[in-house]
Amino acid sequence: MRGGRPTIETGSGPLAGLRVLDFGQYVAGPLTAVLLADQGADVIHVDPPGGPRWAGVADAFFNRGKRRVILDLKQPEDLAAARRLAAEADVVIENFRPGVLERLGLDLDAARRASPALITCSLPGFGAGDPRAGMRGYEGVIAAATANCTPRNGEEPPGWDWERPTYSALPFASSFAGYLAALSIVMALIARRRTGRGQHVEVPLFDAMFTLVGHSGTYAGDLGPHPSSPIHGRGAGAFRCQDGRYVQFDTSSPRHLTWFARAAGLLGRFDAELLDLTGNARPEVNERLHARLREEFATRTAAEWEEIGNAAGAAIGFIRTPAEWIATSHARRSHAVARVSDPELGDIWCAGVPVGLSDFPEPRVRPRRPPGADTAAVLAELAGATPSAGSAGPAGPDGAGPGCSVGAEPDRGQPLRGIRVLDLGLALAGPTCGRILAEFGADVVKVASPGHGVAGYLNRGKESLLLDLRGAGGQEVYWRLVDHADVVLENFSPGTADRLGIGYQEVRARRPEAVYTTISCYGLGGPWEGWRGWERQGQAVTGIMERTELPSVLGPYNIVDIGTGILGAFATALALYHRQSTGRGQRASASLAQTATYHQAAFMFDFPGYRPGEARGYHALGAGRLQRYYRAADRWFFLAAAPADIPALAAVTGLGEDAVADEEALEAAFAAASAEDLVARLTSAGIAAHLVTGLAELMTDPVARARELSVTQEVPGAGACTMPGVSPRLSDTPARPGHPPHRPGQDAREILASVGLEGRLDALERAWVIRATDLPAAWP
């Protein structure tokens, strides 16, 4: 809490006592502020006269839990109030284009100079150093610019034209920017506890997409990104059931097919070759297996198959609508959805909280206030407040707080400098969380099974140990590592850590100051807590997959896995921030189902009369004639015009303003010119537009390379390897990519020495506890 501030009632959570000033509109800024409000921060949201730019039902989510004021920054008195509110805040959030807020009279750099403990956060479409900075960053523009407008290979409609883009109403660029911004703000708060200084955070929507691109954008040499492979091996995929509904069956772990076959009574009825985990890897056998499974799934309802499969331990998700997901007891008991009493809509269900903290087991989700409802009270409070002296807030056991000099040169040590993370993550979500923590400065020790070392981009910035945790020898090493760890991160199948005796309860008893981060498919609490799943189940059960209308996996990237990795890091950062005040660790959690719910927050509602109307299906090109993909003479581009742009659009196309209202006339006009020429003329006229960019083009884009969003590292044994860089930009304590990926297991000797086990490596290797020779390649 900043100096001289009156005490007010806010939510409970690790951020209680912090004040956030939210100038955000549409999605990215308000979403960042909601993530902080739901963790206890006192958020004051500022709307312009006339209310929010995205009014309607979505406002019930994006501005919930906030006090709301209306200020006209073009009026001197309101501008002065905005400046005073910024001076009294801990965090200021905005998502205008670079320079717009300053032109309105609110200079965030000047605000930080006046209040050195202030943290400011900007979420423009394109960053201040990007030549497209002046362009409005509509979702379709960012999707076109980042190759996020194609189906996944193998999930496309029959006869799909791969030159044709597809439009999704889900605002992934804004969502990922919001997640990364909230994470970065908490990291800046952690750093502020040490230094007493605030700083500036920038997370452009375009930049945020590189975190989502993730491993899809990695490659060695000059080969370019490898085309994704269909994900239908060993019988996996979507199957139509007796009731006409679908389930998504996942055999990413081949034994799930065996477990399912036993529970479904397929043993002895299916040809043995179809269930042989070596034989059914062959395409011709897999095709026959799919045919038999299609027959089998047609004999029961989707809900029955979901219960049968999950009871057996297999990963099967009933492909639900969002409303059906909201209605499940699991969504409600796991806090993936929440019920609030909205002042306009009455009692509604909406997206809940995407992370969990054991010290705050019942998160309080507060409804929105009407626009401007708190203007008078906030201004009166401001008039009675003592001007802030720029305090950094209370110091905790791990931080120096306001005793630090705020006039000295910034301490550029990364936020998690000195924090040691034990990363037991598997697959994608867990290792992504560990990699992000390493980017913020943590010392991450990646522990994997001797036969399943994580390699490549996911291992960047980590030390690596291949350790068998099943026996006493492996657990001796594990507990030594835990004794030196601040964070233990795992995403084992539910119950695995407990069965091995290395889970949360054991870690808490031995090292109560440690944060224990759990990532799962369905989250903690609720009847499905023990169910297994991956990206496909996260999409299926929450309604994302149903949006494709096939149904199938949505998007070319792992939207749920990678989003959960970010939110797992957010939960971990919240727990570490709370530990700075209490000296106490706790359990932090994130899940694929909660992330998938949050991805759909703009449309994730249930109340009498609600009828979602967003664009759906892979054949959708946009939200309307002014916001959609068009085919030019040579390639596709995205047009993002506002109604006020119609005269300029008419001039560019040579059509009259009445003709611009005719979508077919626009299609014909655009088809007569090259896309590059059209985009140049449109942007020169102040209309947002962008060419549809391929992934290989994106990773070699000069702007992306200059901004280090695409980086190349020398990886031992693989040479020059290209991969996404780091999306968030922190002015004083920057996130960095970290060292190139190591070979899995190559750091065994150094890791053992760091926990007092010098000289034990040879014996542990002879006992098959550790693998330190004949190691996998650093780059797969």
Q: What pLDDT, in 10s, does the model give residues 343-397?
A: 999 999 999 999 999 999 999 999 999 999 999 999 999 998 776 544 444 444 4
Model pLDDT, residue 387: 66
Average of pLDDT values for 540-567? Answer: 97
Model pLDDT, residue 215: 96
Q: How far apart are CA 94 and CA 180, in angstroms?
A: 14
In the chain, the percentage of residues whose pLDDT exceeds 90 is: 92
Model pLDDT, residue 388: 59
Average of pLDDT values for 684-702? Answer: 98
How much is the mean pLDDT over the chain?
Answer: 94
- Which pLDDT tens digit goes with each residue over 599-611? 999 999 999 999 9
Binning the chain into helix, strand and coil, the percentages to the nearest 5 are 35, 15, 45
Contact call for residues 580 and 399 (beta carbons, < 8 A): yes
User: Residue holding tokens 């999930």?
Assistant: 155
- Which pLDDT tens digit goes with each residue over 422-433? 999 999 999 999
Q: Name, in order, each residue with C-beta under 8 angstroms of 343's C-beta and a sequence gap of 6 or more.
A: 367, 368, 369, 370
Is the pLDDT assigned to residue 134 strictly greater than 80?
A: yes
Model confidence band, residue 410 (pLDDT cutoffs 50, 70, 90)? low
Is the pLDDT assigned to residue 407 strictly greater than 70?
A: no
Q: How far apart are CA 674 and CA 663, in angstroms?
A: 18
Q: Name, in order, each residue with C-beta under 8 angstroms of 208's C-beta and a sequence gap of 6 or more.
A: 173, 176, 177, 180, 727, 728
Model confidence band, residue 227 (pLDDT cutoffs 50, 70, 90)? confident
Is the pLDDT assigned to residue 567 strictly greater than 50?
A: yes
CA distance from start to end of the chain: 48
Is the pLDDT assigned to residue 7 strictly greater than 80?
A: no
Peptide bond preceding 527 in cis form (omega within 30 of 0): no
Listed residue (722, 704, 705) closest to 713, CA to CA: 722
Query: What are the structure tokens assigned to 82, written together?
Result: 């905005």
Average of pLDDT values for 251-271? Answer: 96
Q: Judge residue 555's burial from the number of C-beta atoms within 10 Å of its C-beta, 0-12 exposed, 13-18 middle, 19 or more buried.
A: buried
Helices (H), 654-747: 663-671, 675-684, 695-699, 702-706
Contact call for residues 71 and 215 (beta carbons, < 8 A): no
Q: Which of 18-32, 370-384, 445-459, 576-590 has the lowest mean pLDDT?
A: 445-459
Q: How far apart are CA 456 and CA 460, in angstroms?
A: 7
Contact call for residues 69 and 63 (beta carbons, < 8 A): no
In the chain, the percentage of residues whose pLDDT exceeds 70 is: 95
Q: How far apart are CA 54 and CA 29, in angstroms?
A: 12
Report strand pairing: 420-423 vs 627-631: unpaired
Q: How far apart are CA 667 and CA 669, in angstroms?
A: 6
Angle, helix 76-88 to helix 375-384, in steps of 10 degrees: 70
The residues with which 347 forms a beta bridge, in sequence order, are: 341
Is the pLDDT assigned to residue 404 strictly greater than 70?
A: no
Q: Which of 37-51, 79-93, 452-466, 632-646 has the lowest mean pLDDT?
A: 452-466
- Which pLDDT tens digit goes with each residue over 446-487? 999 998 767 899 999 999 999 999 999 999 999 999 999 999
User: Residue holding tokens 């008991």?
Assistant: 333
User: Residue holding tokens 């709307």?
Assistant: 47
Q: How far apart are CA 45 and CA 64, in angstroms?
A: 10
Listed residue (236, 242, 229) closest to 317, CA to CA: 236
Q: Name, in order, each residue with C-beta under 8 angstroms of 582's C-beta and a sequence gap of 6 or more.
A: 396, 397
Q: How far apart are CA 397 and CA 55, in angstroms?
A: 43
Amino acid present at 410: P
Is the pLDDT assigned to residue 2 strictly greater than 70?
A: no
pTM of the model: 0.96
Model confidence band, residue 11 (pLDDT cutoffs 50, 70, 90)? low
Contact call for residues 16 and 578 (beta carbons, < 8 A): no
Q: Name, in order, each residue with C-beta under 8 angstroms of 562's C-beta and a sequence gap of 6 or more.
A: 211, 212, 214, 428, 429, 432
DSSP per-residue letters across 492-530: PSTTHHHHHT-SHHHHHHH-TTSEEEEEESS-SSSTTTT
- Which pLDDT tens digit goes with each residue over 144-174? 999 999 999 999 999 999 999 999 999 999 9
Contact call for residues 227 and 234 (beta carbons, < 8 A): no
Across the beta sheet with 605-606, the strand order is: 337-342, 346-351, 605-606
Listed residue (728, 729, 680, 722) closest to 705, CA to CA: 722
| Torsion angles phi and psi, residue 597, rounded to 5 | -65, -45
Is the pLDDT assigned to residue 550 strictly greater than 50?
A: yes
Model pLDDT, residue 780: 86
